[in-house]
Chains A and B, each alone.
Chain A
């Protein structure tokens, strides 16, 4: 069953300018939604001499709109611009049909140190839903903004936000006729990329450990595919798999103690589980077909994977001991790269429909396949930890870019990095929270 996409293209581009010349990033709303919860975000008041480079209210607005759950009302339509709770007149906000109101301020305590305050109001109930104060250094201003987004999202939708998370992805640039591949880690909105690995040979398949402290990935730096595990904090890494043949598709078990891998050491691409403490391997699949792209169910008891045992790639599920294999996809000639949502009810996948590769979801209770994107060459879907959005790679005008889509397919955004090709996104688990004062 395919559900047609509903939504209007509103071609609104939000430009984010950063002081780092390398980091001009555009987030373009390629498909918007008009039915989000209307929120009025008042530009935050500023008090101090050295205005910070980051506009907190704008970061929050981009986060919330990107989620597809909110419509941000234009400040031009506001009847007042309150900075303190005592300035708020709820009548002004009912008139412009705002259901929620966010106000706040940023005050410079000393150079490079700021006090950020915000208050969130329910316009109809005329009540404050949240009010927090943070004291942060300039390097943590964006983290504070994303945390405000998380609080607003949770207060208004009842579900946790996933803005205070990170994304890993691979870039490819050409310089002096040499390819440069980088595994990068950035904030969930693509800001502040840090290079974790740089290589002249391809990198692929980054996978976060469940605690967000490590990344597993595939590197061709020794002229063939091998799997490494690297600490995010200090960059220390170890070789995990360098068997004969391909070493690829790392996937951490939810308890972080085992790694599912695709190895062809026994002659053909098969799925194995490695105990990380002992490096002991257990082979799960025995089939002359390609078996790859393993992903764990959130309870760690099952894995889904891609296999072409019927002559074309389709998605299967098996128990973590390799027993009980069952086919899950029956529609179309190419379904691959499955991954679970955090609640275990949905798979994200790549599906070939009408000659184009799209991101889709499969509901596990009734095996209904829904196509979420309408571009082509879409791949590598990765759920946000709250399951409400997916990050994926696509191609626009010949260039690889990242994009996000809400899990219902109604809202899509494109991340444009100015340099090189971008691919293979992986959304981190939840992060540590900032300390704050209520």
Chain B
């Protein structure tokens, strides 16, 4: 079974005077119910009928190219979909916060479609796949640094 970790929200709700408010660090950590831990167990020894625990494909900046690591994750999910033909899948494309929001909305779609193309090439019917883009609107890591950006450039494979 997959493990779902809920990110803890640190809600600092302090009514601050404006002058002090400027000194406060960010008070909110993004919460995403769909966020999944990556790297939590590989799919070695997994039966084709089991859902892959790896369901997030990551991308380089301003790119929708799927690297070898991402391809392995897509393949594992294709195997599951081919063994469970009644299951449909939703591919959610996301971006990091850099660049403009509308451009990122289109880029997130391009990423979701890249995963869709690969699933189709691996034999999954397009009728079972839905793609959606959230652009940069739903980061899993709300920090403003390279490590957060790496986590946020992703396609989530959702069943």
- A-B interaction: yes
Residue positions of A touching B, CB distance < 8 A: 13, 15, 21, 24-26, 28, 172-175, 177-179, 202, 204-205, 218, 220, 223-225, 245-246, 248-249, 262, 264, 269, 290, 292-293, 306, 308, 312-313, 334, 336-337, 350, 352, 357, 377, 379-380, 395-399, 416, 418, 420-421, 423-424
Q: Specify which of A13, A292, A420 is in contact with B103 (CB 8 Å cutoff).
A: A292
* B21 CB–A CB distance under 8 Å: yes
Main secondary structure of the interface of B (DSSP, over half): loop
B9 in contact with A174 (CB, 8 Å)? yes
Q: Give every chain A residue within 8 A of B98 (Cβ-Cβ).
A: 357, 377
* B127 CB–A CB distance under 8 Å: no
B31 in contact with A202 (CB, 8 Å)? no
B100 in contact with A220 (CB, 8 Å)? no
Residue positions of B touching A, CB distance < 8 A: 6, 9, 11, 15-19, 21-31, 62, 97-103, 105-107, 109-110, 131-135, 137-138, 142-144
Starting from the known contacts A24-B21, A306-B100, 9 additional A-B residue pairs (CB-CB under 8 Å) come to: A21-B15, A26-B21, A174-B9, A175-B11, A204-B101, A249-B102, A397-B25, A398-B142, A416-B18
Q: Give every chain A residue within 8 A of B17 (Cβ-Cβ).
A: 24
A290-B103, A290-B110, A398-B143 as given contacts; A220 in contact with B18, CB under 8 Å: no
**Residue of B22, B103, B134 ringed by the most chain A CB atoms within 10 A:** B103
A269-B109, A290-B110 as given contacts; A377 in contact with B97, CB under 8 Å: yes
Q: Specify which of A26, A245, A312 is in contact with B19 (CB 8 Å cutoff).
A: A26
Tell me the bound Cα distance from A424 to B28 in angstroms.
19
**Residue of B6, B18, B21, B23 ringed by the most chain A CB atoms within 10 A:** B18
Tell me the bound Cα distance from A218 to B29 in angstroms.
23
Q: Give every chain B residue within 8 A of A336 (Cβ-Cβ).
A: 99-100, 103
B28 in contact with A350 (CB, 8 Å)? no
Closest A residue to B93 using CB positions? A246
Q: Give every chain B residue within 8 A of A334 (Cβ-Cβ).
A: 62, 99
A292-B102, A306-B100 as given contacts; A421 in contact with B28, CB under 8 Å: yes
Q: Give every chain B residue within 8 A of A21 (Cβ-Cβ).
A: 15
A15 in contact with B106 (CB, 8 Å)? no
A380 in contact with B101 (CB, 8 Å)? yes
Tell me the bound Cα distance from A377 to B9 in angstroms.
24
A350 in contact with B99 (CB, 8 Å)? yes
Q: Give every chain B residue within 8 A of A246 (Cβ-Cβ).
A: 105-106, 109, 133
Tell me the bound Cα distance from A258 to B21 in angstroms.
42
B144 in contact with A398 (CB, 8 Å)? yes
Tell me the bound Cα distance from A26 to B18 in angstroms.
6
Closest 8 CB pairs of A and B: A398-B26, A202-B137, A269-B106, A26-B18, A174-B28, A290-B106, A337-B100, A336-B100
Q: Give every chain B residue within 8 A of A308 (Cβ-Cβ).
A: 62, 103
Q: Give every chain B residue within 8 A of A357 (Cβ-Cβ).
A: 98-99
A26-B19, A337-B103 as given contacts; A204 in contact with B9, CB under 8 Å: no
Tell me the bound Cα distance from A25 to B23 in angstroms.
15
Closest Cβ of chain A: how far from B111's Cβ, in Å?
Answer: 11
B137 in contact with A290 (CB, 8 Å)? no
Tell me the bound Cα distance from A269 to B106 in angstroms.
6
B18 in contact with A418 (CB, 8 Å)? yes
Closest Cβ of chain B: how far from A270's Cβ, in Å?
Answer: 10
Tell me the bound Cα distance from A357 to B97 in angstroms.
11
Closest Cβ of chain B: how far from A348's Cβ, in Å?
Answer: 12
Closest Cβ of chain B: how far from A342's Cβ, in Å?
Answer: 22
A28 in contact with B22 (CB, 8 Å)? yes
Tell me the bound Cα distance from A25 to B17 in angstroms.
9
Q: Give every chain B residue within 8 A of A202 (Cβ-Cβ).
A: 134, 137-138
A313 in contact with B19 (CB, 8 Å)? no
20 pairs of residues in contact across A and B, judged by CB atoms under 8 Å: A173-B28, A174-B29, A178-B31, A204-B101, A220-B134, A245-B131, A246-B105, A269-B109, A269-B110, A290-B110, A292-B106, A293-B102, A293-B103, A313-B103, A336-B103, A377-B97, A379-B100, A396-B22, A397-B25, A399-B27
